[in-house]
Amino acid sequence: MERDFVISRLLLRSKSLRRVLVPEPSEWDRLDGIIFQELAAGPARGESRAWMLSLARRFREQGADALVLACTDFQAVMQPEAAGVGPVIDTLDAHARYIADWCMGDA
């Protein structure tokens, strides 16, 4: 997600997207730790949930209109509506909907 080719493609394909905000490298490291050290072993710690909400709120303060939970495990860590960042795109939900559409011949 943080790679330029992903950001560039998002910006090219969207008619209304102006910019893409992504975590800083140290924040990616912490997100990786939450995924591979906490979620792989069980539920995320409350501290991790609070940190992810603060990250989402920071993006909102920087002008984010929506939040993309760009890991299918993130919906297990935080309730995005609690971040108050407007629309939330949950990639687990998006994948499931696409697979269902594909199976029904609607994709």
Considering the entire predicted model, what is its pTM? 0.75
Q: How confident is the model at residue 80 (pLDDT cuts 50, 70, 90)?
A: low
pLDDT at 2 > cutoff 60: no
Contact 69, 89 (CB under 8 A): yes
Residue 107: pLDDT band (50, 70, 90) is low
Q: What is the pLDDT of residue 1?
A: 52
